[in-house]
Structure 1
């Protein structure tokens, strides 16, 4: 804090001054490396935060879609139970028709049988449509989980790149700086795969 010529240095201020003086005394190369790594780390951390958000969003979508599939499967099961109930009623009507003593009763039961057969076809078509919807929700959930894994892989690669940047900064090893750039590129490439749903 500065006021009326009095200035208190914090530990961070001291380290920045030391790094700046050290870079200046070793020429442009040392300072260039520090600045390059600092800029790289800031950019990669920002991209990594976006990738982490997308990973969380796709995971949430996958759960939501899987839940929708479960609801549709329950609806389809209810329709098939309804279909079975109509089949049972139809079977009872057939037995009653066969045991009926006169033609009028046989005709009455036959009308019920025909009605149950028609209703069963409608119920079956509805149940099959709901089952198809459930399969579609399952596929969408699987696709979102695949994207989630891509985003997670990309985020992990970027985190490794940031760790390599820190080690490169501490050790001043050029090969670690190249490793940092390589892992950053891999992370961004995997993120691009997620963007294009690959």
Structure 2
């Protein structure tokens, strides 16, 4: 038959003693810490979510930029062919009318490629701007997360030191976190 021995940690002993003696200060700090941890979890989720969204938008911008580059390459190829057809019009003994028609066809193809490339560049610019805007929001969420982590740490130190002024500093850090979170939410 084996017996199990449990050796409580100093923290567990302190919490048990505080709970048994009806320590309101410790209870208040514990509740505050639990609320801040919950807020921290929500802030962390939002920070990660906005970071992923910004990365996806940046990825979309890169894809569209590649498509625009392809259109500019197509434009350049049509331009080269147009130049060759223009030279061929002036070569004696060739069907000048055929090459003049080719010049016009390449000019039209080139214009369509230019328009499409410019439209794609505008789309890529929009994706980049959207990504930058969301990334700014991400930074605010991350700052709010950092502030709430500081508040939680200060709450733990407050519980250990039982300093009233430190409790106020912890509340201040939590308040700062709320302000930063609101700014992120409003995308300020």
Q: Same fold (TM over 0.5)?
A: yes
3-state SS, counterpart of residue 90 of structure 2: helix
Counterpart of 2:80 in structure 1 is: 88
Q: Over alpha carbons, which structure has the higher Rg?
A: 1
Which digits, 9 at most, give the CA deviation of each residue in 1:49-103, with x for residues without a partner? 111111111111122111111111111111001000000110011001012447x
TM-score of the pair, normalised by structure 2: 0.90
- Superposition map of 1:91-170 within 5 A: 91-101=83-93, 105-170=95-160
Q: By how many angstroms is 1:147 displaced?
A: 1.4
Counterpart of 2:16 in structure 1 is: 17
Instruction: Return the match for 1:177 from 164, 167, 174.
Output: 167
Counterpart of 1:4 in structure 2 is: none
TM-score of the pair, normalised by structure 1: 0.86
State how far apart, in whole Å, the 2-side matches of 1:17 and 1:90 are. Answer: 87
Higher deviation after alignment, 93-102 or 157-166: 93-102
Q: By how many angstroms is 1:14 displaced?
A: 4.2
3-state SS, counterpart of residue 11 of structure 1: coil
State how far apart, in whole Å, the 1-side matches of 2:34 and 2:175 are. Answer: 15
Higher deviation after alignment, 9-18 or 160-169: 9-18
Counterpart of 1:56 in structure 2 is: 48
Misfit runs of 4+, over 2 Å: 8-17
State how far apart, in whole Å, the 1-side matches of 2:36 and 2:144 are. Answer: 11
Gaps of 5+ in 1: 1-7, 25-30
State how far apart, in whole Å, the 1-side matches of 2:20 and 2:48 are. Answer: 43
Counterpart of 1:37 in structure 2 is: 29
Gaps of 5+ in 2: none
C-alpha RMSD over aligned residues = 1.7
State how far apart, in whole Å, the 1-side matches of 2:92 and 2:35 are. Answer: 85
Which digits, 9 at most, give the CA deviation of each residue in 1:153-188, with x for residues without a partner? 000000000011011111111100000100000001
Which digits, 9 at most, give the CA deviation of each residue in 1:91-126, with x for residues without a partner? 011001012447xx2221111111111111111110
